[in-house]
Amino acid sequence: MAQQRLWVALLVILLLKSKPTESNKYVVGGNEGWTYGVHSWPNGKVFHHNNVLVFNYQAGIHNVVRVNRHEYENCQPNPNSKTHDSGHDQLRLKRGMNYFICSLPGHCNLGGMNIAINAH
């Protein structure tokens, strides 16, 4: 009987400490969407791996490219990087640093269309 209570108590503790696997969605830039000056949008927010970023923008005007740190700092994606250009792209965060830019000329380096997010 004591062993059974121990198992129940252990199970309750594990359930209380576990985090839900459902991912949260975040609309990048809020109501403004993925646009110029969005660089500081992640400030003050806490992100976790598997959260989904929703990039809303006018198709044909902007795009979204997941890049590495070097590409982010230089606002220059690898030519083989996948470019998302639907106007409503949803990208899942990986654990660690995640970098995204708009690869159209001037949008990243002059327009601030780049974000860096650390997902826990």
| pLDDT tens digits along 15-28 | 444 454 456 999 99
**pTM, full prediction:** 0.81
Q: Which fold has domain 21-119?
A: Immunoglobulin-like (2.60.40)
Of the two residues 5 and 37, the one the predictor is more confident about is 37
On average, the pLDDT of the chain sits at: 89
Q: Taken in order 40, 44, 49, 52, is the CA torsion positive or negative?
A: negative
pLDDT at site 16: 46
Break the chain into its structural domains and give their ranges.
Answer: 21-119
| pLDDT tens digits along 49-103 | 999 999 999 999 999 999 999 999 999 999 999 999 999 999 999 999 999 999 9
Q: Is 34 in contact with 57 (CB distance < 8 Å)?
A: yes
